[in-house]
Structure 1
Amino acid sequence: MPPVKKRRRTPRQLARGVRRRTRRAAGRLRRVFWRSLQLRVVTSTLVISIAVVAVLGVFLEQQISASVLNDRVRAATSEAQADRRTVLGFLAQPESEASKQSGDTGKTLQHSGESPLGEATEALANRAGSAGRYSVVIRNRRLPGAFFGTMNIDERSVTEKMREEVLKKDAGENSPWFSDLYYEGREGRPVPGLVIGTRLDTTGTPLVDDGYEIYHLVPLDKEEKTLTSVRQMLVVVGVGLVLLLAAIASLVTRQVVTPVRLTRQAAERLAAGRLDERLRVRGEDDLARLAISFNEMAANLALKIHQLEELSQVQRQFVSDVSHELRTPLTTVRMAADLLYDAREDFDPMAARSAELMQNQLERFESMLADLLEISRYDAGAATLDVDSVDVRDVVLRAVADSEALAERHSTRFDLRLPGEPCMAEMDSRRVERILRNLLFNAIEHGEGRDIVVSVGADRDAVAVAVRDHGVGLKPGEENMVFDRFWRADPSRARTIGGTGLGLAISREDAMLHGGWLQAWGSPGEGSQFRLSLPRAAGTELRGSPLPLVPPEVEMRRTWRGQMTPMLTPATADGGRDAD
């Protein structure tokens, strides 16, 4: 068999996969971020600290740089003034023949002693010292090629733009620039520097013309190294400070978050039923008082729950005892009532009617007593199932047959919608039949004489029965309350059918005992529907129901209304009346 070639992924597929993994990673990080209070606090502290340290670092760097450069500018300005006086003194001396020759030919000199400018340049070089603290360039606009400089300064250090600015200003007025300095023998590598240019003030020295320019050039490489070291130090200190603040924030937050986390865990265990859960109290601060308050709350809650459990146990025991105690006298009374009911034809009409009424009320009393005994068995956990494989349709037909007489008295008819094939399921048919009878009785009582639809559905895993009435319906929120014990939708409304108000509560317990669902839907004016869903096999988990909880006609009507509402114009919605 030839080896299967692995399909190569296209760049688009690779990009899609990268985006998908990136989104998943971002989602995980987002969940971790929002679930961790400590992480959020540390992150916020880091962001704020970085911003503050960055602002302070930039401010300090600017202040230090300005201070260093301003000091250097002041010192250079003072030196430039002294250099101007020196040059002016040399130029005021009578010119020699050498200077005339150099001036006539435009010869470029580097501090030659053959002329006053050369002597001045040499004097300035000696003043700058061997360390080369600064350089001086002397130029004359009337001699374009003339250039006198010290310390091997290159002619490119003084640009034409600088000369234009100097010539625009008055004599003796300084023009500072921060520019690159070039030196001969350094392979063209520039050095950061300061250039202070000015025209010589020849007032009072008629022997000197006013065309001379003098430029004081100060290298700032040492200052640049100093500022670079300062910047590096600020970065190191800033990073260290941010990390230190993050560590402090993490430590402080941990001290606060840890007790809160322990409180949350204790609250979760308390909610899970561990009523003996308590917190350890340490210290006397707010967190300690929180632990004390939590412990007091837990103790009071445990006490109240224990009291309610005892009260509930007493009530259950009372109901069970009373129900059992009433069985014997009720049996005796029932036997006597049966004798009177059988002999009612021998009585006068009033006595015969009394015997019939007593018989009916005894049947109602027996039903109420049976409900009380059944609910007490559920409370005691003694309810069991007698499971057998039966056809749900047969159970429905028996429940409907038991309810026919009551339906006729209320002018109600049943609309049965049963599938053609058997709907087999493992169930306790007696309990399921009781559930359906309770649902049918409830539908008859609240159906206001309209037809009741009984539907049966089945799929591979479950069977379901739905009882639909078209009566008063249920208000929002009553879908769950209807299964509470002794609950009544309208307390002022008298029951037309006997009962204790436990029928639906017992029905729900029966459904849960089967591992099924008993659910209700209702809407005012649209009636209600109760749906019983049971698994086909006893003990399996129910995952869905074959029948919808909301009646299909109601769902279709709501969908149609939702589609038609945007299509209505104001005139149509207002009854078609036109404004005058």
Structure 2
Amino acid sequence: MARRAPRWLRRGLLRVRNVLSPVVSLWRRSIQARVVITTMAISTLVIGGVGWLMLQGVADGMVEARRAVALSEARAGFNQAQQSLDVSAVSEASSEIDALRTLVNDLASRSGSPPSYQVMLEGPLDPSGEGEAAFASAGIASPAIPDDLARAVAGGEHAAYTFTRMSIEGTDERSAAIIVGNLLRMPDGDEEFALYYAFPMTDQERTLSLVRNSLLYGGLALVLLSSGVAWLVTRQVVTPVRLARRIAERLADGRLEERMVVRGEDDIARLSVSFNKMAESLQRQIRQLEELSRLQHRFVSDVSHELRTPIATVRMAADVLYDNREHFDPSSERSAELLQTELDRFEALLSDLLEISRFDAGAARLEVEAVDLVDLAERVCAQYAPLAARHGVELEVVNRDGPAVVDADVRRIERIVRNLVANAINYSGSPRVQLLVAHGATSAAIAVRDFGVGLEPGQSQLVFNRFWRADPARERSRGGTGLGLAIALEDAVLHGGWLQAWGEPGEGAQFRLTLPRHAGDDPQRSPLPLVPDAGAGLDRTEGVR
């Protein structure tokens, strides 16, 4: 079993996500933001890389120049110091000390003012190459001499140098410097001294700092400038696109008179002209379709109403014939029965056509009241009990959650359930039909489950089409109009819910109606699974979509 992350880590990740969420949202939704951020990032990388290379080149050049000057001056100083020692005839220790002190002071005095270098003399050196500082010019500290340089000077025949940081006496400052060292031998050859020249690089450091700051501020200014240019350029392109988006949204909302403003003759202007032509064409076609739809709805409504009078007359005559069919010969009796049956189907079809026309015209309205789906399911089962008995079908209401009350139009919801139950009894060939009812926090559902022939792949979407039949060769001999499921779907959508179908050949079918608990709300999730076996382990308060 995986261990949960510590609470502090989860909180930290949550804070990071909260900080990054607006940035990610801006990146995903704004072309202008993506272009500006990308330009800023690329400019930063390019300018930073170029600046770093320039700074490295300047630093290398300055260090190399300072090294060459230091070695040249140090070699000249070493030669002069050795010559001064060679020509001096020192016999007494006190005179030797005075001569060395005079030598160091003389060498240091030639560095100018302010001094360009400092001098330090160590010795006499013992056989291991170590020795104590004898003399030093002002400002240099003995620990400034690195050990590796001291060993190289003691064991070498030529001058050695190294780069280091030199401590300045009286301050905590450590300055970069080049220290060059070489051996000095006394005229008698018995004693050796290490002479060091320390060349501070304070001026070079200041110059590099100035160059680095100049590159930093200049690069920052270039990044901001390039980002500003990218923002201005993209704004000229994005602003018309955003305007086109807003106008497209208004067109989608039905405001077909909206148009883009055309300015100039550039590509954006031509895009605006093309967009306006498209909008005019859409407006013209939509209005034509609306007019044709109104004519169609009026035609269907008028024909349906005009047919009521002759149908009423035919109904009276058919009822007379049907009531007296016992006095007819067998063929006439059968004809009277067929006439009655087809007349019932024709009236149902006419009623369904009128209902469909009201949906198409957007004239359908809800009469909302509190409806208990459990009571409704039991009432429908009681109504269809005789039909189920004739077909040998057992009806059952399955409810584990108690009353499932929704705000709905009881007439329309009952019509949906009656249609689903009648179809299951008449066409499924199932020995039993279940009505499952459940409810959740935001929705309630009622499903009609049969265990008969089921549905072929792809038919779960086709069953809601008008006049669709699973078997095209089958005649509608049982009174169906072919509009029941289409009307049921429109009723479900009118309530803000869903009507969905599932089926497998030989496994039966299930039709699930999901409704919001309160009118106008979003059902979000259904408390019943669409596929019966998929919801075995689900929380009934959550369900599946």
Whether the TM-score (by the shorter chain) exceeds 0.5 is: yes
Match of 1:196 among 171, 180, 194: 180
Distance 1:181 1:433 in 2: 97
Further displaced range: 470-479 or 230-239: 470-479
Please give the secondary structure, in 2, of the residue aligned with 1:74.
helix
Distance 2:268 2:486 in 1: 45
- Counterpart mapping for 1:19-98 below 5 A: 24-93=18-87, 95-96=88-89
AA partner of residue 66 (structure 1) = D
- Say whether the 8 Å CA contact 2:455–2:508 is kept in structure 1: yes
- Say whether the 8 Å CA contact 1:38–1:257 is kept in structure 2: yes
Deviation of the 1:165 alpha carbon: 0.5
**Structure 1 pair 244–162 and aligned structure 2 pair: CA distance change class (3 A):** same
AA partner of residue 527 (structure 1) = G
Please give the secondary structure, in 2, of the residue aligned with 1:52.
helix
Distance 2:373 2:120 in 1: 114
- Say whether the 8 Å CA contact 2:167–2:174 is kept in structure 1: yes
- Say whether the 8 Å CA contact 2:184–2:194 is kept in structure 1: yes
Structure 2 equivalent of residue 131 of structure 1: 114
Match of 2:343 among 334, 350, 362: 362
Distance 1:517 1:189 in 2: 79
Structure 2 equivalent of residue 169 of structure 1: 156
Distance 1:311 1:47 in 2: 56
Further displaced range: 133-142 or 304-313: 133-142
> Deviations 1:409-454 (Å, cap 9, x if unpaired)?
6x233424399x9999998766555444422332223221522334
Please give the secondary structure, in 1, of the residue aligned with 2:181.
strand
> Deviations 1:287-329 (Å, cap 9, x if unpaired)?
4454444434433433333333233223222222322333333
Distance 2:67 2:407 in 1: 102
- Say whether the 8 Å CA contact 2:318–2:340 is kept in structure 1: yes
Does 2:256 match 1:262?
Answer: no
Deviation of the 1:367 alpha carbon: 2.0
- Say whether the 8 Å CA contact 1:194–1:218 is kept in structure 2: yes
Distance 2:408 2:121 in 1: 116
Distance 1:448 1:274 in 2: 51
Match of 2:509 among 525, 528, 545: 528
Distance 2:343 2:428 in 1: 26
AA partner of residue 43 (structure 2) = S
Distance 1:127 1:251 in 2: 61
Match of 1:499 among 459, 464, 480: 480
Structure 1 equivalent of residue 97 of structure 2: 107
Structure 2 equivalent of residue 575 of structure 1: none
RMSD: 4.7
Deviation of the 1:64 alpha carbon: 1.4
Structure 1 equivalent of residue 542 of structure 2: none
Structure 2 equivalent of residue 243 of structure 1: 224
- Say whether the 8 Å CA contact 2:438–2:528 is kept in structure 1: no
Distance 1:303 1:331 in 2: 42
Structure 1 equivalent of residue 393 of structure 2: 413
> Deviations 1:61-86 (Å, cap 9, x if unpaired)?
22212212211221222223333443
**Structure 1 pair 385–169 and aligned structure 2 pair: CA distance change class (3 A):** closer
Structure 1, gaps ≥5 residues long:
1-11, 113-117, 560-580
Please give the secondary structure, in 2, of the residue aligned with 1:254.
helix
**Structure 1 pair 531–211 and aligned structure 2 pair: CA distance change class (3 A):** closer
AA partner of residue 77 (structure 1) = L
- Say whether the 8 Å CA contact 2:144–2:167 is kept in structure 1: yes
AA partner of residue 100 (structure 1) = S
- Say whether the 8 Å CA contact 1:529–1:550 is kept in structure 2: no
- Say whether the 8 Å CA contact 1:475–1:522 is kept in structure 2: no
Does 2:356 match 1:375?
Answer: yes
Deviation of the 1:56 alpha carbon: 2.8
- Say whether the 8 Å CA contact 2:393–2:425 is kept in structure 1: no
Structure 2 equivalent of residue 9 of structure 1: none
Count of residue correspondences: 527
Please give the secondary structure, in 2, of the residue aligned with 1:217.
strand
Distance 1:490 1:427 in 2: 34
- Say whether the 8 Å CA contact 1:534–1:542 is kept in structure 2: no
**Structure 1 pair 54–168 and aligned structure 2 pair: CA distance change class (3 A):** farther
Distance 2:212 2:404 in 1: 85
Deviation of the 1:207 alpha carbon: 8.7
Distance 1:379 1:299 in 2: 25
**Structure 1 pair 328–55 and aligned structure 2 pair: CA distance change class (3 A):** same
- Say whether the 8 Å CA contact 1:474–1:521 is kept in structure 2: no
**Structure 1 pair 299–472 and aligned structure 2 pair: CA distance change class (3 A):** farther
Does 2:464 match 1:473?
Answer: no
**TM-score normalised over the length of structure 2:** 0.77
Please give the secondary structure, in 2, of the residue aligned with 1:360.
helix
- Say whether the 8 Å CA contact 2:133–2:142 is kept in structure 1: no
Further displaced range: 475-484 or 157-166: 475-484
**Structure 1 pair 477–259 and aligned structure 2 pair: CA distance change class (3 A):** farther
Distance 1:59 1:534 in 2: 68
AA partner of residue 73 (structure 2) = E
**Structure 1 pair 21–356 and aligned structure 2 pair: CA distance change class (3 A):** same
Further displaced range: 144-153 or 128-137: 144-153
- Counterpart mapping for 1:81-480 below 5 A: 81-93=75-87, 95-96=88-89, 99-102=90-93, 107=97, 109=99, 111-112=101-102, 118=103, 121=104, 124-125=107-108, 127-137=110-120, 141=124, 147=134, 155-158=142-145, 161-170=148-157, 173-181=158-166, 186=170, 191-199=175-183, 211=192, 213-381=194-362, 383=364, 403=384, 407=388, 411-417=391-397, 434-454=415-435, 466-474=447-455
**Structure 1 pair 62–516 and aligned structure 2 pair: CA distance change class (3 A):** closer
**TM-score normalised over the length of structure 1:** 0.73
Please give the secondary structure, in 1, of the residue aligned with 2:97.
coil
**Structure 1 pair 137–109 and aligned structure 2 pair: CA distance change class (3 A):** farther
AA partner of residue 43 (structure 1) = I
Distance 2:415 2:217 in 1: 81
Distance 1:467 1:189 in 2: 89
- Say whether the 8 Å CA contact 1:519–1:549 is kept in structure 2: no
